[in-house]
Amino acid sequence: MQEIRNYTMNFGPQHPAAHGVLRLIMEMDGETIVRADPHIGLLHRGTEKLAESKPFNQSIGYMDRLDYVSMMCNEHAYVRAIETLLGIEAPERAQYIRTMFDEITRILNHLMWVGSNALDLGAMAVFLYAFREREELMDCYEAVSGARMHATYYRPGGVYRDLPAQMPQYRESPWHKGNDLKRINSWREGSMLDYLEAFTNDFPSKVDEYEELLTGNRIWKQRTVGIGVISPELAQQWGMTGAMLRGSGVEWDLRKKQPYAKYADVDFDIPVGVNGDCYDRYLVRVEEMRQSNRIIQQCVKWLKANPGPVMVKNFKVAPPTRFEMKEDMEAMIHHFKLFTEGYCVPAGETYCAVEAPKGEFGCYLVSDGANKPFRVHLRAPGFAHLSSMDTIVRGHMLADVVAMIGTYDLVFGEVDR
Amino acid sequence: MSDPHSNALADRLAARFGETLTISTVRNETTAELSAADLIAVATALRDESAFQFSELVDLCGIDYLGYSQVEWDTDSVSSTGFSRGVEGQAMGRFDWASRPLNEDKPRRFASVVHLLSIVHNCRLRLRVFCDDDTLPVVPSLTLIWPGVNWFEREAFDLYGIIFDGHPDLRRILTDYGFVGHPFRKDFPLIGNVEVRYDPEQKRVIYEPVSIEPRVLVPRTIRNDADLMQAEAEAADDWQRN
């Protein structure tokens, strides 16, 4: 009989299930994976090197473009690292705003994830439902920063500006008119916080809808239950964090264990999985959306009751207001210095991590006292997760690789940096 | 990080490893510097011993200390023509590959920095290992202790040229297939070395030397007045009403 030999297959980098630009070289035995070798770097832009070449503040926008579905969480890690070295702390209201937007970002990310993962595994409808709510939350991004995705909203010392008192409304157009227009504007009568309150009251029922479509779905369970099982030991060996680690039953969440911003003051639970398979990680992420919703509700309540400054009053770091600049020479000089030279950060090094939706997003910042960072290293959760691909998919079927790529929640902006 | 174990951690490390580690704790972040020869033994102990249990290696990255605390814009002294214009200096944005600065015999440019996390004790630790030789920087690989370090070491090799001795698969990871050089080194120009374009005559993508000019918009400068002591004093003074 003729000897049957393994063959090599190329997957990506242009493949709808590759979540961007993943290229996988797989050695197959029939339809079983013998070895998988991910090739990454097709989206490498050298963000860290670019950050070394410009003043600190000018790199905040690059952080949005790393993990481009959890923008503000990336900013948060970078901004916190700068604040740590400067020894400043954002005002309480800014901390609450950051907490709230981190959670909005988490919901945005998980919606994207649940939609695209379901799409990969053959469920089209979830994607459409998930993008409906994503749109509503992106309006918050836009209302607060002017940009739907790449906000550059967090700044060292606080946030760029306070929440808008009036949520922008839709105008009449061929696409939005009559009762439809009235309906979509009904949440937008008041401030952004009113809008978010209406959203958070409504959102749990929307999560129920996604669960209705997936949680008990026979096909979904066949594709995810028992697939890509990761033991707690394996997860730790491979440096996994976030839902990948919690899905394996390790109760580890930086928001609880090493709280930053205002996470110590808000009430929420950490969901953990039992079996460590793709289905458990799905359940963990869905529950995280509900918990994020809870946190947003608490932040909205606090923010409504407590007006105040959202930026430190320290003109060496944060610019003075336009009004002050026009009145006062010194404010003018501060503004000029900040926007031409930037601020110098005292020499030292720090590692600041946040619980980004995908896992631990860390920023290792080394400063030699200059107005530009000496070294910025961004620890992307997806990079660590993807490196375990070969170990985990060996022995699985080809179709399970797609389920695994989905469950890693990969975004190549952060993997390749 | 803000947990009570951090300082205790420094004490435990000092008690266990003694002279092997140079320990410093700043802002509750503990850093231990050690020589490459001790790395494997120390790392194994840190992972396995119950006092440490650093079960996760969160991050590993390379650093090139060439040009640390060098400035392009001297703000200390003034000449008859005023302050320096900030157009000199050797920062990576200022040169192309042909005119890159040569090594100035800076001892020990390269270091590998590891961030460890103990889930049991809820604490972090930073290890820094300097490479003894700048022309051939070598550090032992940690892949047998934490397999997840595999790609991080490949990245540090790719970007800095640090060689991880014992790594099973030390290939480039982030840069292009066939890339030449280690792009994150401080003597690698910011504009890069080559650029690609599609050549309609040869009907393929070709590499050419970069055509853009290096330039720096904001010179690098170090000011000690920004240690914010002064800023705080000014804020307290309320300069607006002065």
Confidence of residue B157 (pLDDT cuts 50, 70, 90): very high
Identify the helix (H) or strand (E) that includes residue B30: strand B29-34
Q: Backbone phi, then psi, for B225, in 5-degree steps?
A: -70, -15
Chain centroid to Cα B114, Å, comes to: 11
- pLDDT score of B240 more than 60: no
How far apart (Å, rounded) are the C-alpha atoms in residues A331 and A328?
A: 5
- pLDDT score of A43 more than 50: yes
Selected residues 223-252 of chain A with any CB under 8 Å from a CB in chain B: 236-241, 250, 252
Q: Backbone phi, then psi, for A390, in 5-degree steps?
A: -60, -45
Q: Scan for tokens 């009235």, then name that residue.
A: A182
- pLDDT score of A1 more than 80: no
Confidence of residue A291 (pLDDT cuts 50, 70, 90): very high
A120, A150 contact by CB (below 8 A): no
Q: What ipTM score was computed for the predicted complex, to two decimals?
A: 0.88
Q: Backbone phi, then psi, for A289, in 5-degree steps?
A: -60, -40
Of B183, B220, B228, nearest to A49 by CB-CB distance is B183
Q: pLDDT of A254-281, one tens digit each?
A: 998 899 888 999 999 999 999 889 999 9
Judged by CB atoms closer than 8 Å, whether chains meet at B119 and A250 is answered as yes
How far apart (Å, rounded) are the C-alpha atoms in residues A356 and A74?
A: 7
Judged by CB atoms closer than 8 Å, whether chains meet at A350 and B27 is answered as yes
How far apart (Å, rounded) are the C-alpha atoms in residues B107 and A152?
A: 39
How many helices and strands (H and E) does chain B possess?
A: 4, 9
Burial of A191 (0-12, 13-18, 19+ CB in 10 A): middle
A87, A116 contact by CB (below 8 A): no
Judged by CB atoms closer than 8 Å, whether chains meet at B151 and A383 is answered as yes
- pLDDT score of B82 more than 50: yes
Q: What's the distance, Cα to Cα, between the start and end of chain B in Å?
A: 40
Strand B29-34 and strand B56-64: pairing?
A: unpaired
How far apart (Å, rounded) are the C-alpha atoms in residues A406 and A114?
A: 9
Question: Which percentage of chain A shows pLDDT scores above 90?
Answer: 39
Residues of A in contact with B86 (CB under 8 A): none
Instruction: Provide the 10 A C-beta neighbour count for residue A347.
Output: 17
- The tokens describing A386, both together, are 């993807």
Residues of A in contact with B232 (CB under 8 A): 314
Q: Name which of B130, B140, B27 is nearest B10 in CA terms.
A: B27
Q: pLDDT of B29-53, one tens digit each?
A: 889 989 888 899 999 999 888 888 8
Confidence of residue B140 (pLDDT cuts 50, 70, 90): very high
The residue type at A358: K
A360, A381 contact by CB (below 8 A): yes
In DSSP terms, which residues pair with B196 in a beta bridge? Answer: B207
Q: pLDDT of A313-338, one tens digit each?
A: 888 888 888 888 888 888 898 899 88
Of B71, B122, B184, nearest to A257 by CB-CB distance is B122
Q: Name which of A50, A62, A370 is nearest B89 in CA terms.
A: A370
Shortest Cα distance, chain A CAs vs residue B42, angstroms: 17
How far apart (Å, rounded) are the C-alpha atoms in residues B143 and B148?
A: 7
For position B146, what pLDDT does the model report?
92
A13 upstream amide cis, omega within 30 of 0: yes
Shortest Cα distance, chain B CAs vs residue A157, angstroms: 12
Task: Return the exposure string of A229-249: e unless at least 16 CB atoms fall within 10 Å of the residue's CB, then b.
Answer: bbebebbbbbbbbbbbbbbbb
**Interface residue A81 vs chain B (CB under 8 A):** no
